[in-house]
Amino acid sequence: MNETPATKVTANELLKENGPTLAGTVASTLADPQANHFSEDDVQLLKFHGVYQQDDRDLRKQGKKYIMMIRGRIPGGVMTPKQWCVFDDLASQYGNNTLRITTRQSIQFHGVVKSGLRALIKKINESLLSTLAACGDVNRNVLAPPTPAYTSARQQVFEDCVRVAGALRPQTRAYHAIWIDGVQLNLDDPANKDFTDPLYGKTYLPRKLKIAFVIPPVNDLDVFTNCLGFIAIVENNQRIGYNLAVGGGMGRSHGNEQTYPRLADVIGFFTPDKLIEVAKAVLTIHRDFGNRADRKRARLKYVVAERGVEFMRDEVNKRAGIMLEPAKPYKFTTTSDLYGWYKAVDEKWFLTLFVGMGRVKDAQKTALRQIAEKFSGIEFRLSANQNVILANVSDADKTGINAVLAQHGVKTENQASVLHAASMACPALPTCGLALAESERMLPGLIDRIEKLCAEAGLAGQEIIIRSTGCPNGCSRPYMAEIAFVGKAPGRYQVWLGGDTSGTRLNRVWKDMVKDADIENELRPVLARYAKERNNGERFGDWVERVLWKEQPAAAN
């Protein structure tokens, strides 16, 4: 199946080949009250079930305190009020009493100990959501446009998102056995002993696959950062088909020039009746041609980069039984969410609430819980910018929702300064084992400092997209930002500059290593120059591209 010329494969590949049911010894470890963590092999298999084993790195001097991060699989980021209440309860009962909105329209629970793990996942499944394939070498949570403001075609696109998510779900019975029935999968059963997933095969994908649907002109999902992107073409409020984009991805490794962020290529147009065939075609191309010898180069983007767009187009045509048409015209203008109250095309209201660093907590958490309990007809939608959207709101419900929010001091207008509202960060320390530096706990204070720099330069109120990540893997999509901070060591960051507001241009390394305390000194002269040299209405990232990179071409990736 895999056509990588190297004969040696990674340990993960051997683990999947020897245990394609993904069961491992997870159930027996769960049942052992003396065990406070899982084996290294089971840690890898748990990812397919939506679970990461971590430890609280703030407490390492006292010995490892094992905790779990659990991620929901929520197609298109849409939840009912009842489902929101379930997740809220689980965060309070088993987690750290916060709900972490992810950049993939999901919710993560942090701080869960092993004894609460099965109960949490079982209750998620009882709410008719899941954690299966929220992580692991499979298709992850599929994204869909959350904002209902400008076209009724959004519902069609959301339904397509749900269809793709269902069609690409792995079929192992281990998930149900472990988390619902609470038993170890019987590997002597021939159906399990000889199990091969009908779509993924025995060894699944070389690495994860990320998929997003988007409706121009709004690119609020950063579609080109995905392995597979469906760009909806809408005419008369009907989606007539999709432009197909392949080969995007953010992950890279410090010091390894063979790894890099990449934007997807648009390779053609197809009609909606071929959607599942096209999705499966791209997935199986990744399955068959992805690098299984080096996980750092195992993403689909490297297949596209190395084999080329024509190869991808030919393979998709062959595997999907279609002939891709030339891509249809489209244009993106923004990646931002619409904060505050707006009316959708169906005359219902929706409210986008800013969630600082994606962490729903304290008064905001309490207010959203009360709204979910009182207003059963609304919809909770998670944005890829880590915010919460309350949709399908009637005039009467709008008044009631405003009252609840006001009672708890949650703003609906002027919710955050422009820099904070345009920022994102990954969780990083203390929970993520990959983090090299702070991110979520660092960025709000750093933005406060940058706001002072902007005020000095006469740029107060000027939006600049700022993102940070604790390591180079890029979970907060830093390589699309106008300013990005990528953790390189404790208190030290790479600084990247030059992304754009439409999500169509990568930024570049500006400084390879800057101490946190030196960031103002490094940025001050650049912001001052931008204030003086920018064209009318020119954004910071566009000025960097037009002026700064022409002076420093060596800084380009």
Question: DSSP letters along 356-402, please?
Answer: GGGEE-HHHHHHHHHHHHH-TT-EEEE-TTS-EEEEEE-HHHHHHHH
Residue 482 token pair: 């106008």
Q: Are residues 348 and 271 in the same domain?
A: no
Residue 55 token pair: 């430890």
Rounded to 5°, the CA angle 252-438-49 comes to 60
What is the rounded average pLDDT of the residues 138-156?
94
pLDDT in tens, 359-403: 999 999 999 999 999 999 999 999 999 999 999 999 999 999 999
In sequence order, what are the beta bridge partners of 79? 380
- Say which amino acid occupies 49: H
Q: Are residues 322 and 467 in the same domain?
A: no
pLDDT in tens, 405-449: 999 999 999 999 999 999 999 999 999 999 999 999 999 999 999
Cβ distance 496 to 479 under 8 Å?
yes
pLDDT over 90 percentage in the chain: 94
Q: Are residues 518 and 476 in the same domain?
A: yes
Strands 211-214, 228-235: pairing is parallel
Cβ distance 116 to 28 under 8 Å?
no
Q: Are residues 330 and 352 in the same domain?
A: no
3-state helix, strand, coil in the chain (%, to 5): 40, 20, 40
* Residue 1 scores a pLDDT above 90: no
* Residue 292 scores a pLDDT above 90: yes
DSSP 307-359: H-HHHHHHHHHHHHT--PBPPPP----B-----EEEE-TTS-EEEEEP-GGGE
Per-residue model confidence (pLDDT) at position 149: 77
Q: Which of 252, 256, 246 is nearest to 278 (CA)?
A: 246
Residue 231 token pair: 């760009």
- Residue 141 belongs to domain with CATH number: 3.30.413.10
Q: Are residues 311 and 326 in the same domain?
A: yes
Cβ distance 316 to 278 under 8 Å?
yes
pLDDT confidence tier of residue 557, bands split at 50, 70 and 90: very low
Per-residue model confidence (pLDDT) at position 339: 97
Per-residue model confidence (pLDDT) at position 4: 44
* Residue 2 scores a pLDDT above 60: no
Q: Is residue 13 part of a domain?
A: no
Per-residue model confidence (pLDDT) at position 88: 98
pLDDT confidence tier of residue 331, bands split at 50, 70 and 90: very high
Q: Are residues 463 and 484 in the same domain?
A: yes
Q: Is residue 34 part of a domain?
A: no
Distance between CA atoms of residues 46 and 38, nearest Å: 9
- Give start and end residues of each alpha helix (H) in 408-498: 418-421, 443-456
Q: Is residue 410 part of a domain?
A: yes
Q: Are residues 389 and 412 in the same domain?
A: yes
Q: Is residue 453 part of a domain?
A: yes
- Say which amino acid occupies 30: L
Q: Of all helices (H) and strands (E), which one includes residue 229?
A: strand 228-235
Q: Are residues 356 and 493 in the same domain?
A: no
Q: Are residues 159 and 300 in the same domain?
A: yes
- Residue 358 belongs to domain with CATH number: 3.90.480.10
Q: Are residues 475 and 407 in the same domain?
A: no
Q: Is 541 helix (H, G, I), strand (E, B) or coil?
A: helix
Out of 335, 360, 394, pick the residue that ends a domain: 335
What's this model's pTM, rounded to 2 decimal places? 0.96
Out of 335, 356, 373, pick the residue that ends a domain: 335
Q: Are residues 535 and 469 in the same domain?
A: yes
Distance between CA atoms of residues 504 and 217, nearest Å: 12
pLDDT over 70 percentage in the chain: 98
Q: Is residue 72 part of a domain?
A: no
Per-residue model confidence (pLDDT) at position 553: 60
Write out the residue range of the structural domain in which residue 375 sits: 340-418
Distance between CA atoms of residues 328 and 270, nearest Å: 10
- Give start and end residues of each alpha helix (H) in 408-518: 418-421, 443-456
pLDDT confidence tier of residue 555, bands split at 50, 70 and 90: very low
Phi and psi angles of residue 244, each rounded to the nearest 5 degrees, phi first: -95, 125
Number of structural domains (the chain) is 3
Out of 283, 303, 335, pick the residue that ends a domain: 335
* Residue 81 scores a pLDDT above 60: yes
* Residue 3 scores a pLDDT above 60: no
What is the rounded average pLDDT of the residues 501-519?
98
pLDDT confidence tier of residue 85, bands split at 50, 70 and 90: very high
Contacts of 184 (CB under 8 A, 6+ apart): 23, 25, 27, 28, 177, 178
pLDDT in tens, 459-500: 999 999 999 999 999 999 999 999 999 999 999 999 999 999
Distance between CA atoms of residues 12 and 291, nearest Å: 12
Q: Is residue 212 part of a domain?
A: yes
Q: Which of 189-193, 355-359, 370-374 has the lowest mean pLDDT?
A: 189-193
**Would you name the residues annotated as active-site residues?**
71, 140, 208, 210, 426, 432, 471, 475
Q: Which of 335, 339, 382, 391 is nearest to 360 (CA)?
A: 382
pLDDT in tens, 256-286: 999 999 999 999 999 999 999 999 999 999 9
Q: Are residues 446 and 346 in the same domain?
A: no
Residue 191 token pair: 């159906």
Distance between CA atoms of residues 164 and 276, nearest Å: 6
Q: Is residue 445 part of a domain?
A: yes
pLDDT in tens, 11-49: 999 999 999 999 999 999 999 999 999 999 999 999 999
Q: Is residue 29 part of a domain?
A: no
Per-residue model confidence (pLDDT) at position 547: 97
Q: Which of 19, 5, 53 is nearest to 294 (CA)?
A: 5
Mean pLDDT over the full length of the chain:
96
Rounded to 5°, the CA angle 130-131-132 comes to 95
Cβ distance 67 to 110 under 8 Å?
yes
Per-residue model confidence (pLDDT) at position 457: 97
Residue 497 token pair: 């500059």
- Give start and end residues of each alpha helix (H) in 228-328: 275-289, 300-307, 309-320
